[in-house]
Homo-oligomer: A and B are copies of this chain.
Amino acid sequence: MSDSHNPVIVEVVRGSIVESRHEGSYAVMASDASLIASAGDIDRPVYPRSAVKAFQAMAVFENGAADTYNFTPEEIALMCSSHAGEPRHVAVARGMLTKLGLGPDAYECGTHWPTREEAAYDLARAGEEPGPIHNNCSGKHAGMLALALTLGADTHGYIAADHPVQRAVASVLGEVCDCDMLTAPRAIDGCSVPTWALPLRNIALGFARLASGASLSDARRDAARRIIEAVRAHPFMVAGTGRFCTALMEKVPRAFVKTGAEGVYCAAVPHAGLGVALKCDDGASRAAEAAIAAVLAGLDVWSPAERDVLASLARSPLFNRNHFEVGEVHAVAVN
């Protein structure tokens, strides 16, 4: 990371003063690779983490796995999801495994309690323990298992960087984002698949191509369209009750957004052919949420009603343990 500081993009106010602040950078790209807007350093490599699940899902389409297993739009949305482990998410993931003829022991994503606390407490009340099916990435991993089966590869070890599944994912990412994946820094994600660090400029380009289909093969253009339609139809599957991705897409169905760990947020604006990639330097989700809403609101591609909703999502009140409003988190105008 360079010594230069990115601008403050979000402030946290308590009482009359700023209590905390978040720096970051973002790029808004058109699918012809022209830069529409930006702030901060957009050329250093950033791990997009779960924000590029749509591209990981694209690999499942072009190899025919999505059709072989007749994945429904709800299942496709779950492939692109960091879900909260609510009962409906788990049921859809389970249905995908059933189609594959596999059990949850095929998963190599690891286990954690549902990220929605109420779902976790319900599980505990029922005397149950979480399994990999509750992992927020279980839909993505079901897609990867489908891809392994379709490729005739061993399902065991599908998370390794040199497995045909991850090679297919790397191929999609490299071509859609116009990056050399052999030189991109590679690390291991929370769910144990590879994550490659790419410049925000390139990630945003990938989302612009997802939005427009431009520069994509016919198969990928079709996959992009089906992914966006699936997520638009089932925004609950992408995150969950009260989650920012779900709330934003429910309120502004013309936007496609996806969060990633460590303060990443990406977006596609299909009707305008634009892509956005944003990283909060310190990795804070609260800041990435406010900032992506503000960046989207600043684009001249919305109806007044849509813009008002996006602008309102760029500010959220802070409540304490007694539900007193004690401050707020708000995006800061950068440009």
Contact = CB atoms under 8 A, between A and B. Distances in A.
A263 interface: yes
A277 to B, nearest CB: 15
A190 B45 CA distance: 37
B191 A321 contact: yes
A15 interface: yes
Interface string A248-260: 0000000000000
A135 interface: yes
CB-CB nearest 3 A-B residue pairs: A15-B187, A110-B321, A20-B283
Contacts of A5: 5, 23
A104 interface: no
Interface of A: 1, 5, 11-12, 14-23, 45-47, 108-113, 117, 120-122, 124-125, 127, 135, 185-192, 195, 197, 262-263, 281-284, 287, 320-324, 326-327
A283 B18 CA distance: 11
Given A20-B263, A282-B284, 20 more contacts: A1-B11, A1-B17, A14-B47, A14-B188, A15-B47, A15-B185, A17-B185, A17-B197, A19-B187, A20-B282, A22-B282, A109-B321, A109-B322, A112-B321, A120-B121, A121-B124, A187-B327, A188-B320, A189-B320, A283-B284
The secondary-structure label for the interface of chain A is loop
Contacts of A16: 185, 187
Contacts of A18: 1
A267 B49 CA distance: 35
Contacts of A113: 117, 121
Contacts of A192: 320-322, 324
A130 B323 CA distance: 16
Contact of A125 (B1, B47, B117, B127): B127
Given A16-B185, A185-B17, A190 B281 contact: no
A187 B326 contact: yes
A12 B262 contact: yes
8 contacts: A15-B186, A20-B262, A20-B283, A111-B321, A124-B124, A125-B127, A282-B282, A283-B284
A130 to B, nearest CB: 10
Instruction: Name the residue in A15, A108, A192, A197 with the highest tally of chain B Cβ atoms < 10 Å from its Cβ.
Output: A15
A45 B284 CA distance: 22
